[in-house]
Amino acid sequence: MSVTTLTMNGTLVSAAEGATLLAVAREHHIPIPTLCHFEGLSEVGACRLCLVEVEGSNRLQAACMTKAVEGMTVTTNSETLRSYRRQIVELLLAERNHVCAVCVANHTCELQNLAVSMGVHHVRYEPQAPQLSMDASHPRWILDHNRCVLCTRCVRVCDEIEGAHTWDLMGRGRHTLVISDLHEPWGQSESCTSCGKCVRVCPTGALFEKGTSATNKDPHFVTYLKMAREQKLWNR
């Protein structure tokens, strides 16, 4: 296997051919914030939090979607990047109705953790406060569009791991909604196998279990399942 060599934050690093910049950074313990990325699922580059600077390019690149190239010079942390990432988190918080204090995902929410790590204690943008519904028709779980950040982890895990493809997207821009089947109530979905993987990988409180006041998700289980299937290693 040929090896690619590139410079990341002034340090020479090596990468397997075809590896993404995000994978290279993770391998070398260089932190890059992510939200839509999920180990074991395909990449979509939806959240833009993993933006990095690549020398010679006049625009920022999503590390999860950009392949490492021989001789590339990459910066993963700069004032510009921190500013953009902060804005992205603030825009996500302003777009729908994220009220941490009364959210089931309080303290286990990846969006909340990102906000805390970036020092987002205020949102500078006008809250959009859209009137969005909840789908509580499933016997075990609830979908709350108010807390959805459209990362599409649920869509991908359902399609790529479970093979059911119950979830998909409807609409455009901020009006986009995650829907089940052909926009039918989740509880009436014929394709849903009630496996619960979508609930486990949801980074916020958008998908949660009925009857608990706090989420206790185990998202790593899905990554384990994927690796175990591929490598035939079933030890957790």
Partner 1 sequence: MSKTITIEPVSRVEGHAKITIQLDDQGHVLDTRFHVLEFRGFEAFCEGRHFQEMPAITSRICGICPVSHMLASADAGDRLLAVEIPDTALLLRRVVNLAQIVQSHALSFFYLSSPDMLLGYDADPATRNVLGVARLNPELARRGIRLRQFGQSVIDIIAGKRIHPSWAVAGGVIAALSPEGRDLILAGLPEALATATSTLEWFRGALDNHTMEVDTFGHFPTLFLGMVSPDGTLETYGGRLRLMDATGTIIADQLDAKAAKALLAEQVEPWSYLKSPYYAPLGPVDGAYRVGPLARLNVADRCGTPLADEELHRFRARASGPVLASFHYHYARLIEILYGLERIGQLLDNADALGTDILARASRNRTHGIGMSEAPRGTLFHDYTVDENGLITRLDLLIATGQNNLAMNRTVTQIAKAFVDDAHLTEGMLNRVEAGIRAFDPCLSCSTHAAGTMPLVVDLVAADGSVLQTLSRPS
Q: Which stretch binds partner 1 (CB under 8 A): 22-30, 34-42, 115-123, 208-216?
A: 208-216
Taking the complex as a whole, how short is the minimal distance between the CB of residue 128 and partner 1, in angstroms?
A: 16
Separation of alpha carbons 53 and 76, rounded Å: 7
Q: Which stretch binds partner 1 (CB under 8 A): 68-76, 114-122, 132-140, 222-230?
A: 132-140
Task: Determine, following the binding rule CB under 8 A, whether residue 133 of this chain makes contact with partner 1.
Answer: yes
Separation of alpha carbons 145 and 136, rounded Å: 11
How many Cβ atoms from other residues are within 10 Å of residue 4's Cβ? 18
Separation of alpha carbons 188 and 138, rounded Å: 8
User: Which residue among 58, 213, 231, 235 contacts partner 1 (CB under 8 A)?
Assistant: 213
DSSP state of 122: S
The answer for residues whose C-beta is within 8 angstroms of residue 143's C-beta and 6 or more apart is: 134, 135, 178, 180, 186, 206, 207
Task: Determine, following the binding rule CB under 8 A, whether residue 45 of this chain makes contact with partner 1.
Answer: no
Taking the complex as a whole, how short is the minimal distance between the CB of residue 53 and partner 1, in angstroms?
A: 41
Q: State the Cα torsion 90-92-94-95 to the nearest 10°.
A: 160
Taking the complex as a whole, how short is the minimal distance between the CB of residue 120 and partner 1, in angstroms?
A: 21
Token look-up 């039918």 returns: 184
SS3 content of the chain, % helix, strand, coil (to 5): 30, 15, 55
Separation of alpha carbons 189 and 50, rounded Å: 34
Q: Which stretch binds partner 1 (CB under 8 A): 32-40, 75-83, 98-106, 164-172?
A: 98-106
Taking the complex as a whole, how short is the minimal distance between the CB of residue 124 and partner 1, in angstroms?
A: 24
Binding track over 139-178 against partner 1, x by CB under 8 A: x--x------------------------------------
Binding track over 171-190 against partner 1, x by CB under 8 A: ----------------x---
Phi, psi (rounded to 5 degrees) for 93: -70, -30
Token look-up 């959210």 returns: 103
Q: Which stretch binds partner 1 (CB under 8 A): 80-88, 96-104, 108-116, 148-156?
A: 96-104
Cβ closest to partner 1, residue 91 vs residue 136 = 136
Cβ closest to partner 1, residue 44 vs residue 104 = 104
Task: Determine, following the binding rule CB under 8 A, whether residue 210 of this chain makes contact with partner 1.
Answer: yes
Q: Enumerate binding residues for partner 1 (CB under 8 A).
A: 101-102, 104, 106, 133-137, 139, 142, 187, 210-214
